């Protein structure tokens, strides 16, 4: 695919190298900066590493990843960065992330700004949110031109959220999309209207997105801004009272440079931070950049899940990507350490042409990927799998540095964020249950605990001085006059909502201040300001709905989950093989105490403690138990030690060994694998333990829920028992189609058979 559209600035006339301002990047921050600086009469150049994408140019061929999909394969649309601790997804193209974002325009609630620098709060930023909303011409989801109604998944999600046991508020968010039943404003210039093809996050081939290339950048070019695409900035160096910006021209392979008094960095959180780190540490052209550079990175609490095989009609291929936002209010942690949090859940559509890519992302086999041509996924053949997009307020304490290749890597700790992730997984499972489906998680999370974010934020901390920050609250780099940061890297912490509106609003505020300073006109404002009206804020309505829910349940209502406790005793034997190759049969006993953190929604891992006896050796056991994870009824991960010379790990899963209906012995039989170390020698073993009939009676008597009185405890126990029974009858969810059942349990079945007394 080649560059199919350019402006005359790119193709004719002398190639100017002197400007009043250079903007690096063309996403939300860069688009705002380019438009306002050009409207102020300044000579502006915009350097964008990606190409222009016109409607119809965006890739759809799932069989060829080199056909415009990936940046590292032919300068394609997506730049997927493996940052060690997280996978970051960003876009490359004229319009930046707006080309592939889900169009949601959302404002964080007031409480998000409490810890942000002075001057950045909702009251101050609301006029700039309104201005950005005007420019992007936002509106809630319209009606499907084929059905005359909103998408099926919109009402399905609203109904599902209404049935959840937690306080929630569900709204239809504002979207930067032109719908057929919408009267366009003067701010947007999108050439088409939405056909409900579900391809917002893959580039809109209908031209219905009010993305930055159709809005802010169009304004910038109308006012004379020079666009230079396929030009990737490599370093910035102070020169002659300004900065020389060095870049690589991907068309010619040549390197060149531009000079300007002022430079506005807007290449995205990862790329902007990476550029500054290279300028400081590799090229040493900006050696005095503060030590805080790279700190404060956030994935915005992003978590991706899928609802598979729902009984509810969802039609995931119809409509814009996102049509609903559900605010979930809950507690993370237990006891005195419990913290009230909120996060949001959104439905996610995708076009039928890339259904094979979605199946591959979930780790499910697909015959289409790499074999069938585009267009073979008809609505009859496609399943009803729908994405769930979740985001919340994470710890925002990641650190970006450079590796040996001078590329960004991320130091990220999952542990401080695990309560949030577990809460999001629970919400995804609850939503899936209400839709009659099952949740599937990405293999990168299941096996590596590596998250994926499409909302890269931070890396250029904001503070009053250079001690703890890199920029001030107006985006000015400390100690480097004329150098600004106006993109997601400048966001002080996760927003908990889709962050594009906040990036645009802060850029509007800070570029306005910069223009006033440049022109020495304290009253300069964007020319569109007189046309701007206050925009609705549906996400505030969602938060109000949550508060109203609490009011109905009384001021004393405590939503903290009640844990459920029970005891489980298993008996059996294991074949232990020592380092000399000899095998012995040892009696094995497990006496376990289990605590399920949320008895009303038994989704995340339960904590386990207790005793194990190997022959004559008694050891202390700790670990986790997952109830009804993918591929099993229950999955145990236990560690043990006698506190002296003996330690080891014991793992196993209770699985369905055959038949359409569950058998009691499948729920009471646990095949185990053992990695045992004693006195420097390593032993391995396999065995089976079972709950005897008397043990089942004792297990039932041990069930209890504590806290908030007998009625709440009883309700929690009834809910736990009901969900357990329904999940057991439904059977374990598998990673692949139903005909892979024997493959999923083959190892466990063979182990059970080897030790079976039946």
Per-residue pLDDT of 151-186, as tens digits, reads: 999 999 998 887 775 556 889 999 999 998 776 665
First to last CA, the chain: 65
pLDDT tier for residue 367 given thresholds of 50, 70 and 90: very low
Helix (H) or strand (E) holding 82: strand 78-82
pLDDT tens digits for range 659-700: 666 788 889 999 999 999 887 789 999 999 999 988 898 998
Q: Where are the alpha helices (DSSP H) in 208-367?
A: 216-222, 269-277, 355-361
β 339-348/483-485 pair status: unpaired
Dihedrals φ, ψ of 123, to 5°? Answer: -60, -40
pLDDT at 516: 98
How far, in Å, CA of 185 to CA of 15, rounded?
Answer: 35
pLDDT at 255 over 90: yes
Give the number of other CB atoms < 10 A from CB of residue 722.
10
Q: What is the DSSP letter of 369?
A: T
Q: Is 189 exposed, middle or buried (0-12, 13-18, 19+ CB in 10 A)?
A: middle
**Average pLDDT over every residue of 377-401:** 79
pLDDT over 90, % of the chain: 56
pLDDT over 70, % of the chain: 84
**Average pLDDT over every residue of 194-208:** 91
pLDDT tier for residue 363 given thresholds of 50, 70 and 90: low
pLDDT at 339: 67
pLDDT tier for residue 338 given thresholds of 50, 70 and 90: low
Place of tokens 């969802």: 314
The mean-pLDDT minimum among 357-361, 489-493, 626-630, 751-755 falls in: 751-755
pLDDT tier for residue 309 given thresholds of 50, 70 and 90: confident
- Find the radius of gyration of the CA atoms of the chain: 28
pLDDT tens digits for range 402-413: 999 999 999 999
**Average pLDDT over every residue of 354-359:** 60
User: In b/e form, how buried is each residue of 79-100, taking b as 16+ CB within 10 angstroms?
Assistant: bebebebbbbbbbbbbbbbbbb
**Average pLDDT over every residue of 705-712:** 68
Place of tokens 């964020």: 417
How far, in Å, CA of 72 to CA of 693, rounded?
Answer: 60
Return the SS3 of 73: coil
pLDDT tier for residue 137 given thresholds of 50, 70 and 90: very high
Under 8 Å between Cβ of 599 and 165: no
pLDDT at 752 over 50: no
Can you name the residues that pair with 104 across neighbouring β-strands? 175
Q: Is 241 exposed, middle or buried (0-12, 13-18, 19+ CB in 10 A)?
A: exposed
pLDDT at 185: 60
How far, in Å, CA of 697 to CA of 347, rounded?
Answer: 43
β 583-596/606-614 pair status: antiparallel
**Average pLDDT over every residue of 202-231:** 95
**Average pLDDT over every residue of 57-86:** 87
pLDDT at 115 over 80: yes
pLDDT at 482 over 90: yes
In order of 98, 391, 757, the CA distances from 103 in angstroms are 7, 15, 60
Extract the tokens encoding 378: 């008809």
**Average pLDDT over every residue of 75-93:** 91
Can you name the residues that pair with 685 across neighbouring β-strands? 576, 674
Give the number of other CB atoms < 10 A from CB of residue 397.
16
Place of tokens 């073979």: 376
The mean-pLDDT minimum among 24-38, 596-610, 742-756 falls in: 742-756
Q: 641 versus 738: which is more confidently predicted?
A: 641
Q: 379 versus 398: which is more confidently predicted?
A: 398
pLDDT tier for residue 286 given thresholds of 50, 70 and 90: very high
> Is the alpha carbon torsion for 427, 428, 433, 439 positive or negative?
negative
How far, in Å, CA of 348 to CA of 507, rounded?
Answer: 28
Ramachandran region of residue 514, left (φ > 0), alpha (ψ -120 to 50) or beta?
Answer: alpha
pLDDT at 160: 87
pLDDT at 383: 62
How far, in Å, CA of 373 to CA of 186, rounded?
Answer: 40
């Amino acid at each position: 695919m080649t560059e199919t559209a350019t402006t005359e600035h790119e193709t004719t006339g002398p190639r100017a190298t002197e400007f009043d301002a250079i903007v690096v990047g063309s996403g939300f921050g860069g688009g705002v900066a380019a438009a306002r600086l050009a409207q102020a009469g300044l000579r502006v150049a915009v350097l964008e590493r990606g190409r222009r994408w016109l409607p119809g140019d965006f890739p759809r061929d799932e069989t060829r990843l080199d056909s415009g999909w990936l940046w590292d394969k032919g300068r394609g649309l997506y730049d997927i960065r493996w940052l060690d601790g997280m996978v970051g997804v960003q876009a490359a193209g004229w319009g930046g992330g707006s080309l592939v974002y889900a169009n949601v325009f959302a404002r964080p609630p007031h409480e998000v700004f409490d810890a942000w620098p002075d001057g950045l709060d909702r009251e101050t930023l609301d006029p700039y949110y309104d201005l950005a909303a005007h420019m992007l011409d936002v509106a809630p989801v319209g009606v499907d031109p084929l059905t005359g109604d909103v998408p099926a998944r919109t009402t399905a999600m609203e109904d599902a959220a209404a049935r959840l046991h937690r306080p929630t508020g569900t709204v239809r968010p504002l979207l930067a999309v032109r719908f057929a039943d919408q009267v366009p404003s003067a701010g947007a210039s999108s050439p088409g209207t939405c056909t409900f093809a579900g391809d917002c996050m893959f580039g809109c081939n209908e031209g219905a997105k009010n993305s930055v290339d159709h809005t802010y950048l169009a304004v910038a070019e109308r006012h004379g801004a020079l666009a230079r695409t396929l030009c990737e900035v490599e370093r910035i160096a102070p020169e002659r009272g300004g900065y020389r910006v060095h870049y690589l021209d991907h068309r010619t392979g040549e390197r060149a440079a531009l000079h300007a008094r002022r430079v506005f960095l807007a290449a995205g959180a990862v790329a902007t931070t990476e550029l500054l780190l290279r300028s400081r540490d590799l090229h040493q052209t900006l050696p005095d950049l503060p030590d805080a550079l790279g700190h404060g990175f956030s994935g915005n609490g992003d978590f991706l899940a899928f609802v598979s095989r729902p009984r509810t009609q969802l039609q995931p291929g119809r409509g814009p990507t996102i049509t609903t936002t559900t605010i979930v209010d809950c507690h993370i942690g237990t006891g005195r350490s419990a913290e009230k949090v909120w996060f949001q859940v959104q439905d996610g559509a995708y076009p039928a042409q890339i259904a094979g890519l979605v199946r591959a992302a979930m780790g499910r086999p697909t015959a289409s990927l790499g074999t069938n041509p585009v267009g073979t996924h008809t609505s009859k053949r496609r399943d009803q799998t729908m994405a769930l997009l979740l985001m919340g307020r994470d710890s925002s304490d990641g650190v970006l540095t450079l590796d040996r290749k001078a590329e960004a890597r991320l130091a990220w700790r999952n542990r401080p964020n695990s309560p949030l992730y577990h809460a999001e997984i629970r919400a995804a499972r609850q939503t899936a249950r209400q839709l009659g489906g099952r949740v599937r998680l990405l293999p990168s999370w299941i096996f590596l605990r590596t998250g994926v974010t499409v909302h890269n934020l931070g890396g250029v901390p904001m503070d009053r001085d250079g001690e703890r920050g890199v920029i001030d609250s107006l985006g000015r780099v400390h100690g480097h006059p004329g150098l600004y940061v106006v993109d997601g890297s400048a966001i002080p912490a996760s927003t908990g909502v889709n962050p594009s509106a906040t990036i645009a609003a802060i850029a509007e505020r800070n570029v306005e201040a910069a223009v006033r300073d440049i022109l020495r006109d304290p009253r300069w404002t964007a020319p569109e300001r007189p046309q701007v009206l206050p925009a609705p804020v549906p996400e505030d309505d969602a938060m109000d709905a949550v508060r109203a829910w609490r009011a109905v349940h009384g001021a004393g209502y405590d939503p903290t989950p009640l844990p459920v406790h029970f005891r489980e005793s298993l008996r059996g034997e294991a074949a232990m093989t020592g380092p000399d190759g000899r095998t012995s049969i040892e009696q094995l006993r497990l006496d376990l105490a289990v605590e399920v953190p949320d008895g009303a929604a038994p989704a995340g891992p339960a904590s386990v403690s207790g005793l194990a006896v190997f022959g004559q050796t008694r050891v202390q056991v700790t670990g986790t138990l997952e109830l009804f994870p993918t591929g099993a009824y229950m999955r145990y991960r236990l560690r043990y030690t006698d506190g002296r010379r003996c330690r080891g790990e014991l793992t196993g899963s209770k699985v369905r060994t055959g038949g359409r209906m569950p058998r009691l012995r499948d729920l009471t039989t646990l095949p185990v694998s053992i990695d045992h170390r004693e006195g420097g020698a390593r032993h391995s073993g396999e065995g089976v333990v079972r709950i005897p009939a008397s043990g089942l009676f004792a297990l039932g008597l041990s069930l209890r829920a504590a806290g908030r009185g007998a009625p709440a405890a009883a309700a929690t126990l009834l809910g736990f028992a009901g969900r357990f029974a329904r999940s057991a009858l439904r059977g374990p969810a598998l990673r692949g189609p139903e005909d892979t059942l024997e493959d999923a349990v083959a190892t466990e079945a063979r182990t059970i058979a080897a030790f079976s007394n039946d």
